[in-house]
Chain A
């Protein structure tokens, strides 16, 4: 477990170098300007270098190698971030898909996913696995899956976006225990995890035109989903047992529905990969 002086030393040694890497890489990004804006904002606030320092190989001693457990989790996260980032890139590039009034929402999310990708790639360095080829119809490469109109039908695009964001929350959450010994990495991952939660809430509410009626509220009610084919994304979200306690028995006048909403449930890496696999062509 690193202490605060370790963190300071790491920051001092890698801040400039990593920041430059990140900033030069953005030139290759289609939306370099907005990405730069977020990164620069993060640099000013101190959040980006702190997070980068946490994931720097130099934070792991002389060998400069990330522990295998960490690279496994980060490559898993990178796969999901690639899935999201290319999805929003393609959605925003599609003609007449996203209405003008909603573009700010999706450019915001897109920018974040781009930053997450760059950040994980920078942290993983040579260990970073390449971006897969995606099939956003969930056809496993056929291009004719259940979401065949994902980039021509806005409702389908929103449904897939919600599924990705809620899956992302469950994915990061499920990997937290693996990162437990690596405090700085854990903290960095958690600061992404909660942002995915913010994205999920926004997309969920957008799908209900911000009327905040179930199941189109910011939170997940029981295992309810109005998106066909996404039962696995919401499996076990109806859980009311926490830490061995039936939480419905320790509240008055609050139903199981609200109790379930108050806790987001994790999924294992295998469960997440089973959800994601249909979206991967190669």
Chain B
């Protein structure tokens, strides 16, 4: 497959979807400032004070993000942050010069597909949130050896399990059935990824599903685990 993808950190730069996003969000009148901050230099005078976005998210002068879970748009922003991380990771995995020699043919198919799925998830949240979305995050992958099969697959396992536990733990903060269903549509795909990566690491073992109940981690636990891979600090309040 000959595909092109966004750059590593780039969230959606695509045109707005044809259908009315505001109708989806069901928050009439919400027009956002969040996106404006993404492109501003940190020296801009208007950024000297933290800015609150319509979603409830607060973006600090250092790029730090505070998400307010009393506003369910910020629960989506939380998912958007994690999908940005995953998408950036898999884009870099597949783009690595040794990708074709580091991984077996079936593993390449798996990793390309997962890259596509995570880019889809990221761009979906970006489009759905529109002006309410948090800025692009900066991945920090210095500890990952992208030319090493085990390093990549172990990181993939960490991210996929983390994603599953994050969606499972954040669902309780959603207020609308529409968003809950959307999160549900995505979390089971993350679980399919986790199962696949785990089986590739330990074939035909029981590792694809290590427990009868998956974890449902708090945002704090998830962000502590994800923190080392993201430059900007992310904090969740009102959980």
Contacts and interface: CB of A to CB of B under 8 A. Distances in A.
Interface of A: 1, 38, 41-42, 45, 47-48, 50-51, 101-102, 104-105, 107-109, 111-112, 115-116, 119, 169, 173, 176-177, 180, 183-184, 186-188, 190-202, 205, 210-213, 217-219, 242-247, 249-254, 258-259, 261-266
Contacts, number: 239
B195 A101 contact: no
B113 A202 contact: no
B89 to A, nearest CB: 16
Contacts of A202: 195, 199, 208-209
A242 B185 contact: yes
B168 interface: yes
Given A244-B21, A245-B17, A252-B5, A266 B189 contact: no
Contact of B117 (A48, A112, A186, A262): A262
A217 B193 CA distance: 10
A253 B180 CA distance: 28
A210 B180 CA distance: 32
Contacts of A249: 14-15, 17-18
A211 B206 CA distance: 18
Contact of A176 (B6, B181, B195, B214): B181
Nearest to A112: B212
A105 B126 CA distance: 38
Interface string B194-212: 1110010001111011011
Given A195-B191, A198-B195, A249-B14, A258 B113 contact: yes
Given A187-B169, A193-B184, A197-B191, A262 B116 contact: yes
A101 B205 CA distance: 9
Place the interface of chain B in its size category: 35 or more
Contacts of A250: 12, 14-15, 17, 123-124, 126-127
Contact of A186 (B171, B178, B191, B192): B171
Nearest to B172: A183
Contacts of A266: 181, 184-185
Given A104-B206, A263-B189, A265-B185, 18 more contacts: A1-B172, A105-B208, A173-B185, A176-B184, A184-B172, A194-B188, A212-B106, A218-B196, A243-B128, A243-B178, A245-B24, A245-B128, A246-B19, A250-B14, A250-B15, A254-B119, A258-B113, A264-B188
